[in-house]
Amino acid sequence: MNSTQQVLAGQVALITGGARGMGEAEARLFAQQGATVIIADVLDTEGAQLAHEIGDNASYMHLDVSDENNWAQVMGSIDEQYGGLDILVNNAGILRFATIEDTTLEQYMAIVNINQVGTFLGMRSAIPLLRKKSGKSIINISSFDAMTGSNGLIAYAASKWAIRGMTKVAARELGQEGIRVNSVHPGGISTAMTGDTSSWAHNVRKLVPLYRAGEPEEIAKTVLFLASNQSSYTTGSEFTVDGGLANCNLYETMPGAPVDQT
Ligand SMILES: NC(=O)c1ccc[n+]([C@@H]2O[C@H](COP(=O)([O-])OP(=O)(O)OC[C@H]3O[C@@H](n4cnc5c(N)ncnc54)[C@H](O)[C@@H]3O)[C@@H](O)[C@H]2O)c1
């Protein structure tokens, strides 16, 4: 592929939670598409190794997305090195299961602080840098759980619904400056978060209309579309990439469900 075909040629992108899973897939795809990629995570060894594998157009920075001071340090470094930022992907997140009654306030706030507050801090601290560059795209990774409600996920669902709402506020506030803000809602993707095992993938497919688990690369393609100029008239929108899971959570018990042939 030559540089004229690379949709992110010359752009600088920051991907939080970029050391593994979907963030890793996005980092690899963005770099292939000509971007300079900053991988930010708390997994320093994995993040640095990934940056090394990708090559000269990738680097790693330690970033705990729930830490306001850490955001200021990272954005200061990016501004100094690259003179701004074209693309921010707020991808870092954690998942914990517990019923409402069994969720302590401490557990609830731990999830909200990373998933929800991390996304707020990311958007807020990126705005001055996005103004300096032409890309001007923020992609917030929410979840299919912000389209529906799953039992055992009170804090996670709250944080992901908040991301969906904050995306629309940001799109409204920043649109006049050409900064676009969209949310992506994955579901059923095979990563470390969901267990990354063949038995998990085997079980989840029975709930998914497309009858298989998704791969991180399938999310990365949607994120690339939103990061690039290919989506130039799209902002404040929701992109569900979940094999149909969000709208079909009773699928297994309804007429017309796939027949399990195993
Ligand atoms: N896997 C799925 O099916 C699924 C479904 C819906 C939404 N999501 C969302 O997609 C995103 C990526 O998830 P994934 O499946 O790739 O999981 P993952 O666990 O493989 O990746 C999450 C990354 O976030 C990083 N992270 C966690 N806490 C952090 C912090 N405080 N600061 C910086 N980085 C931190 C982790 O170290 C990890 O590298 C998450 O926001 C997740 O909630 C995933």
Parse the chain into domains and list their residue ranges. Answer: 7-196+216-244
How many angstroms separate the Cα of 73 from the Cα of each of 70, 101, 242, 260?
A: 5, 38, 35, 52
Counting beta carbons within 10 angstroms of the beta carbon of residue 4, is it exposed (0 to 12), middle (13 to 18) or buried (19 or more)? exposed
Is 52 in contact with 59 (CB distance < 8 Å)? Answer: no
pLDDT bucket at 257, cuts 50 / 70 / 90: low
Residue 156 annotated among the catalytic residues of the structure: yes
The helix/strand/coil state of 62 is strand
Candidates 156, 211, 233, 251; catalytic one: 156
- Cα 74 from Cα 38, distance rounded (Å): 10
Q: At what angle do helices 21-32 and 44-54 cross, to 10 degrees?
A: 20
pLDDT of residue 181: 99
Q: Which long-range contacts (CB under 8 A, 24 or more apart) does 70-75 make?
A: 71/121, 71/122, 71/125, 72/125, 74/14, 74/38, 74/40, 75/125, 75/126, 75/128, 75/129
Q: What does the pLDDT average to over 191-199?
A: 82
Nearest Cα residue to 139 out of 200, 92, 77: 92
Q: Can you read off the two tokens belonging to residue 121? A: 């801090």
Kindly give the distance from the C-alpha atom of residue 91 to the centroid of ligand 1, in angstroms, as a whole number.
Answer: 6
Give the predicted TM-score (pTM) of the model. 0.95
CATH code assigned to 7-196+216-244: 3.40.50.720
- pLDDT digit string, tens, across residues 42-77: 999 999 999 999 999 999 999 999 999 999 999 999
- Cα 42 from Cα 64, distance rounded (Å): 6
Q: What is the share, in percent, of the chain residues with pLDDT greater than 70?
A: 93
> Which helix (H) or strand (E) element contains residue 40?
strand 36-41
121 lines ligand 1 (CB under 6 A): no
Q: What does the pLDDT average to over 199-223?
A: 89
Q: Can you read off the two tokens belonging to residue 43? A: 């997994």
- Number of the ligand 1 atom closest to the C-alpha atom of 194: 1
Counting beta carbons within 10 angstroms of the beta carbon of residue 189, is it exposed (0 to 12), middle (13 to 18) or buried (19 or more)? buried
Q: Can you read off the two tokens belonging to residue 11? A: 């752009």
Kindly give the distance from the C-alpha atom of residue 102 to the centroid of ligand 1, in angstroms, as a whole number.
Answer: 23
157 lines ligand 1 (CB under 6 A): no
The β-bridge partners of 60 are: 39
Nearest Cα residue to 224 out of 25, 54, 18: 25
Residue nearest to atom 32 of ligand 1 (CA): 64
Nearest Cα residue to 244 out of 167, 186, 157: 186
Q: What is the share, in percent, of the chain residues with pLDDT greater than 90?
A: 83
Quick check: 36 pLDDT over 70? yes
- pLDDT digit string, tens, across residues 111-166: 999 999 999 999 999 999 999 999 999 999 999 999 988 888 999 999 999 999 99
Contacts of 154 (CB under 8 A, 6+ apart): 98, 99, 100, 103, 108
